[in-house]
Amino acid sequence: MPSESKRGAALRRITHYNPPNNASQRPQAMRDPSPAAASELPDYLRETYTWAYLDHRTVPWLDRPVVVSAILWGNASRLMDSAVREFSPGQQVLQAAAVYGDFSPRLARQLGDEGQLTVLDVAPIQIANTRRKLAPWPQAHAQVADLTEPVGATFDAACCFFLLHEVPPHARRHIVANLLAAVEPGGKIVFVDYHQPRWWHPMGPIMALVFRYLEPFANSLLADSIDTLVPECAGFEWRKETCFGGLYQKVVGIRR
């Protein structure tokens, strides 16, 4: 298993670096995920979300935009647009973890030919799937990395779309601290995720069941404020908005 410093050093090399299209010319950290990487999956991911993210039989089904839309009660497009609008053409952006549906292609399109999108995910199957979806976008690339470890590279901006509710609190704090450290001064971080819905929300009881049986780490996110999760948050100016009766939140920080 690569050490933190080795992996960090590898990623440091890709900061503000335009990856060659030919995979054989890429630095080691950007080559196709090796089988060994599969054994490095976090316990919480293997134990809780194999059915959702690690099973080659379910991934193609869950990756369909219609399924993503249903899971987010018809709000997927609106939430993706809201996140993508935070970024500008020409920026170098880190996407924290793969996202089902067309989120990554939307982000790559927004960044344009002069921009660069880097998607990091700990699961090789998700990286392979993301690479397939990003094939038409040469300025976008995806590689295996565990975001609980330092990223070791900096970007103009970072985007974390519905990852935080799927990780336990200690991993969440590491991920948030690592993403904040990966944003350059003046740069932006965008979190989109679940939020505590209003008491009258008609979906409240259903979401309570979903969180209880399918998303066991989500309630700990609802109890927290992302903008104060780790001490490093103090180095950012924050704004927050919620939508769909408070069920979803977008939290945006600008590094001072």
Ligand X SMILES: C[S@@+](CC[C@H](N)C(=O)[O-])C[C@H]1O[C@@H](n2cnc3c(N)ncnc32)[C@H](O)[C@@H]1O
Contacts with ligand X by CB under 6 A lie at 42, 45, 53, 68, 97-100, 121-123, 126, 146-148, 162-163, 166-167, 171
Per-residue DSSP letters for 196-239? ---TT-TTHHHHHHHHHHT-TTHHHHHTS-GGGSSGGGGGEEEE
Q: How far apart are CA 202 and CA 235, in angstroms?
A: 37
Q: Least distance to ligand X from the beta carbon of 186, Å?
A: 25
CA-CA-CA-CA torsion sign (86, 88, 92, 95) = positive
Amino acid letter, residue 72: L
The tokens for 232 are 């490093």
Nearer to ligand X, 19 or 150 (CB): 150
Q: How far is the CB of 125 from ligand X (least distance, A)?
A: 8
Closest distance of CB 10 from ligand X, Å: 15
- Shortest distance, position 63 Cβ to ligand X, whole Å: 8
Which is nearer to ligand X, 166 or 227 (by Cβ)? 166
Question: Measured from the CB atom, is 110 or 126 closer to ligand X?
Answer: 126
**Alpha helical stretches, state H, 50-102:** 59-62, 65-71, 76-84
Name which of 5 and 25 has its Cβ closer to ligand X: 5
Q: Which is nearer to ligand X, 29 or 45 (by Cβ)?
A: 45
- Output 53 or 248, the one with its CB closest to ligand X: 53
Distance of CA 23 to the CA centre of its chain: 23
Residue 176 in contact with residue 148, Cβ under 8 Å? no
Q: Shortest approach of ligand X to residue 114 CB, angstroms?
A: 26
- Which tokens in the block code for residue 23? 């995979």
Residue 33: closest CA among 166, 181, 184, 141: 141
- Other beta carbons less than 10 A from residue 70's beta carbon: 11
Residue 41 beta carbon to ligand X: minimum distance, rounded to whole angstroms: 8
